[in-house]
């Protein structure tokens, strides 16, 4: 199970986006939980928020196909050793709505960021994938290294797919505490 939740605390003094993954047993009892929490953005460069956008689940018959599309996107184009020039194999060139607080709508903007020499964000491992119809959520281990900061992050990405291409993307990131990185827990 996956949740993408907006939280407003103390009458709006603190606003967060929480993404939660739950694993359940055969009796639907929660047996594991992962979450990533980061600050809410009420305006992206294209005028979206961290949480607005489409929510209708469709294409239930394409659930597994969409899961594979997203896994291939991350592995082929965004993981260490991947080739960002392959992004258009997975992301729509006509419609790509971006809910990241720093990235403008359109594949060309994301392509430019991902194709920078020494691009700072590198995915290291896909930890979890949850999917239903046209939505796929992933929890990954990623590293941000811009020459000033070199830190591991828990990276959540939520993708909406139409006609075999990603058309909308939300993300949520949180630094991984050093003791968790070194302990092998994440």
Burial of 64 (0-12, 13-18, 19+ CB in 10 A): exposed
Residues 6, 15 contacting (CB under 8 angstroms): yes
Mean pLDDT of 73-91: 94
**Domains of the chain by range and CATH?**
2-183 (3.10.450.50)
Instruction: Give the model's confidence band at 118: pLDDT under 50 very low, under 70 low, under 90 confident, else very high.
Output: confident
Residues 127, 141 contacting (CB under 8 angstroms): yes
Mean pLDDT of 166-173: 96
Instruction: Give the model's confidence band at 179: pLDDT under 50 very low, under 70 low, under 90 confident, else very high.
Output: low
Share of the chain above pLDDT 70, in %: 96
Distance CA(1)–CA(96), nearest Å, equals 25
The reported pTM is 0.90
DSSP letters along 5-36, please? EEEEETTTTEEEEEEEEEEE-TTS-EEEEEEE
pLDDT, tens only, 29-56: 999 999 999 999 999 999 999 999 999 9
Residue holding tokens 């996107």?
73
Burial of 56 (0-12, 13-18, 19+ CB in 10 A): exposed
Residues 128, 107 contacting (CB under 8 angstroms): no
Distance CA(153)–CA(128), nearest Å, equals 14
């Amino acid at each position: 199970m996956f949740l993408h939740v907006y939280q407003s605390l103390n009458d709006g003094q603190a606003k967060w986006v929480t993404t939660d993954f739950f694993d359940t047993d055969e009796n639907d009892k929660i047996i594991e939980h992962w979450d990533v929490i980061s600050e809410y953005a009420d305006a992206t460069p294209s005028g979206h928020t961290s949480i607005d956008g489409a929510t209708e689940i469709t294409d239930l018959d394409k659930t597994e196909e969409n899961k594979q599309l997203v896994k291939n996107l991350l592995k082929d184009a965004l993981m260490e050793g991947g080739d960002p020039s392959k992004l258009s194999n997975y992301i729509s060139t006509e419609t790509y709505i971006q809910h990241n607080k720093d990235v403008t709508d359109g594949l060309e903007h994301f392509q430019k960021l991902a194709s920078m020499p020494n691009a700072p964000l590198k995915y290291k491992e896909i930890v979890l994938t949850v999917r239903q119809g046209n939505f796929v959520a992933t929890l990954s281990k990623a590293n941000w290294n811009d020459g000033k900061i070199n830190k591991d992050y828990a990276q959540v990405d939520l993708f909406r797919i139409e006609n075999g291409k990603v058309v909308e993307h939300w993300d949520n990131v949180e630094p991984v505490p050093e003791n968790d990185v070194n302990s092998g827990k994440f």
